[in-house]
Structure 1
Amino acid sequence: MANLYDGKMAAIYDAMYQTFVNYDEEYTFYNNLIQENNGAATLEIGSGTGNLAKRFEANKQNYLGLDYSADMIAIAKQRNKNSSFIQGDMRDFKLDKPVDSILITGRSTSYLISNDDINRTFESVYKNLTQDGVFIFDFIDANRFIPFTKNNPVIVHEAEFENINYIRESHWDTNNSLENFMLEWTAQYYTIINGEKEIIENDFSTVRVFTLNEIELFLYLNNFEILKTIDRKTYAYDTYVIVAKKIS
């Protein structure tokens, strides 16, 4: 991962996603899945700047956030005084106490670019769940996303937050030399001032998209049973959401 979530980009990301994502709907969606499976304590991986944490905190739920970026966590802590956050890597983390449900939100699975990354993450999730705990996560569907990027080489997102207009221009390179349905993503971030675009940051990442069959196999190999598969359209791309149960 490049510098997308560090330094000033953490604040820019936060501002843009306030308009990209309806966090009230996002919270209701995930919380319903948690409650269906009797989850009391929840860990959110990829908690970012704490937008979901704010909703869990308002409802006095047992919530913990984990994120790779110290800058994102700093914003989250400022915003959510009564919530707990830890900096960590989803591929290798250990909680003081297992939780009933673990979420990976915001398509953060896209940054698990090798099979080892996925297996290590799923193993860490397994170890930090209570018996019969549930694992809920989303991922971008390769079968729909790759054709979409070929037909749309430049994808533009616009957002307005606190009277500032932002534009993100994303470029996806479906480089056939890369393994595992990996793509090279570059993005330019702009503000609009007096009708003119002014660039504020560039970013580059290598990301991975998945087929549903791949994910099903990774879960099986890491001792999870799939309870529910949800075909979900999100603010930008078609995704699947998986609800899986830890099995002994």
Structure 2
Amino acid sequence: MLSNAIYTDLSGYYDLMCADIDYRAQSHCIHRLQQLLGNGGKTHLDLACGTGPHVRHLLDAGYQSSGLDINQPMLDLARMRCPEAQFALQDMCGFTLGEPVDLITCFLYSIHYSAGLDRLNACIASVHAALAQGGLFCFNAVDRQRIDNGSWVSHNVSQAQARFSFSSGWHYSGEGERQALKLRIEKSVAGEKQVWHDEHAMVAVSFSELMALLQPHFDVHMLEHDYETLSAWDGISGNALFACVKI
């Protein structure tokens, strides 16, 4: 069995790794929040858009949707999925738009890719500048104080003759502004296994710290991390959905 940390570009595995994600439910939830809390407009930008599955769903819902990412191979796949959308190779912690948009999203905990509190603050400032008045910023986040280092999420999927097992888990040392997203991919073909391990540096932030960064710019609604039922955060769970209206 081979084991090494050889991959840094997830584009070849991204859709398989995310095969169990209900993109439709997530996108529909954000559409509902835009109708309930936002300005109701239909221009949209997805930060860290990856291969564009959320952009695809929001295009189909009638949005003029676009995306940005720092990974060109991801954007190449996104353009194939969404040829009518606009995509840009930009850093979400320092991006600019030609025209403001009504809705900005950042799914799959990608806000944590800011990697540090200064860059997270720069990301929030960039989002605020890019939103139209009354526009909505939606993202999900994890509280560093509630991370269980022993908790992993896994799923299996088959493609052609190969079977893949994907696992991911958060790790926080207990101090500082860095946490890690640990990933493991196992590929089995004809009884032979290959295993890849990767670790992504992410920003570690508590919900109270995150609220302090957001509130100068937004009216913030913290919701339970449940895309089917919109309900206020219970004050206990370590995952939350943030819906932030530009003020």
Match in the other structure for 1:229:
222
Provide the rounded CA distance (Å) in 2 between the counterparts of 1:96 and 1:40: 16
1:206 aligns with 2:209: no
Q: 2:144 aligns with which of 142, 145, 154?
A: 142
* Cα deviation digits, residues 120-174 of structure 1 (max 9, x gap): 1111111111112121111113233x2x21x44xx35222143442123446543
Deviation string, structure 1 residues 86-138 (Cα, Å, up to 9, x no partner): 11101111111000111111101111232211111111111111112121111
| Alignment-derived partner of residue 158 in structure 1 | 155
Q: How far apart, CA to CA, are the structure 2 residues paired with 1:172 and 1:65?
A: 26
Distance 1:72 1:238 in 2: 29
Against the structure 1 CA distance between its residues 32 and 173, is the aligned structure 2 distance closer, same or farther, given a 3 Å change threshold? closer
Superposition CA RMSD, Å: 2.4
**1:26-41 → structure 2 map (5 Å cutoff):** 26-36=26-36, 37=38, 38-41=40-43
Secondary structure of the structure 1 residue equivalent to 2:50 = coil
Is the 8 Å Cα contact of residues 46 and 106 (structure 1) preserved in structure 2? no
Determine what percentage of the aligned residue pairs are the same residue. Answer: 23
Residue 172 (structure 2) pairs with residue 174 (structure 1) = yes
Higher relative helix content: 1
Q: Does 1:16 align with 2:10?
A: no
Superposed displacement of residue 233, structure 1: 5.0
Cα deviation, 1:182-203, whole Å, max 9, x if unaligned, reads 223443322122344322x432
CA distance change for structure 1 residues 51 and 224 in 2, over 3 Å: closer, same or farther? same
Question: How much has 1:76 moved relative to structure 2?
Answer: 0.5
Match in the other structure for 1:45:
47
Residue number in structure 1 paired with 2:75: 73
Seen in structure 2, the aligned counterparts of structure 1 residues 188 and 21 have a Cα distance that, compared at 3 Å, is: same
Distance, in Å, in 2 between the alignment partners of 1:197 and 1:233 is 35
Preserved CA contact (<8 Å) 1:16 1:161: no
Counterpart in the other structure of 2:233: none
2:95 matches 1:99: no
Task: State TM-score, norm by structure 2.
Answer: 0.84
How many positions carry a matched residue from both structures? 231
Runs (5+) with no aligned partner, structure 2: 228-236
The 1:125/1:158 distance shift into structure 2, 3 A limit, reads: same
* 1:142 and 1:210 in contact (8 A); partners too: yes
